[in-house]
Amino acid sequence: MKAIPATFLFCLSLSAAAPALAASKAELDAQALAVRQALSQSVDIAVNQLGRAGGYWGNPKVRIPLPEEIRHLEKSLRRVGLERYADEFGESLNRAAEAAVPEAKPVLVAAIRELSLHDAVGIVRGRDDAATRYFQVHSDAALRERLQPIVAQSMNRVQVTAAYKRLMKKAAFLDKAVEPGQLDLDAYVTREALNGLYLLMAEEEQRIRRDPVARTTGLLQNVFR
């Protein structure tokens, strides 16, 4: 009986393994597509909720507070019945964020498109907010760069600086520790707006993972089960 060449046996083993490898690759591709769908769903819901009147201001979970440096002034104003100036300034910060956050969507969509197979598998197997954390690692700098000029325009439109100066003028007789111009309000609102965006995205991601009703496609139902 002739010996079977080793090269023939090697090729035969590869051909036998091919279906299994193909199935594994197909499974990984499905996971990647499911993660992209989950991310897109999270982005859509978060941006739609936040990018409208009351999206931040009307939601205590994501409402942007006054900057920490002047919160003591807010307390002082409330004690003497001048809280409307603090409320006016606080609302203006939130209105600026509401007007700016829809501009985050193109950056987030681009990050979804660039999601690698390796990252997708890690997200599927990761914790409940793994996809949102992916955005924070890979897109935060781009989002800040994209949003901050929009935030600045929004703040001019809703007259944040004017509200801030009125607040400081009323608070001057209570505390002169902070003067107008010392706070980078554009950077502050941008950071807080993104924190709220990430929070709502993480909540939607958790809902997709835990609640079958939230899995709006067959692929999501198969992968996140």
Task: Name the more confident of 8 and 99.
Answer: 99
Q: Is residue 1 part of a domain?
A: no
Q: Is residue 198 part of a domain?
A: yes
Q: Is residue 186 part of a domain?
A: yes
Which range, 6-10, 124-128, 132-136, is most confident?
132-136
Q: Is residue 211 part of a domain?
A: yes
Quick check: 134 pLDDT over 50? yes
Q: Is residue 160 part of a domain?
A: yes
Q: Which whole number is the average pLDDT over 51-78? A: 89
Q: Is residue 42 part of a domain?
A: yes
Give residue 34's pLDDT.
Answer: 76
| Amino acid type, 85 | Y
Give residue 4's pLDDT.
Answer: 47
Q: Is residue 97 part of a domain?
A: yes
Quick check: 77 pLDDT over 60? yes
Q: Which two tokens stand for residue 22?
A: 């193909």
Domain count, the chain: 1
Show the domain range for 35: 29-223
Quick check: 154 pLDDT over 90? no
Quick check: 94 pLDDT over 80? yes
Report the mean per-residue pLDDT for the chain: 78
Q: How confident is the model at residue 114 (pLDDT cuts 50, 70, 90)?
A: confident
Q: Is residue 19 part of a domain?
A: no
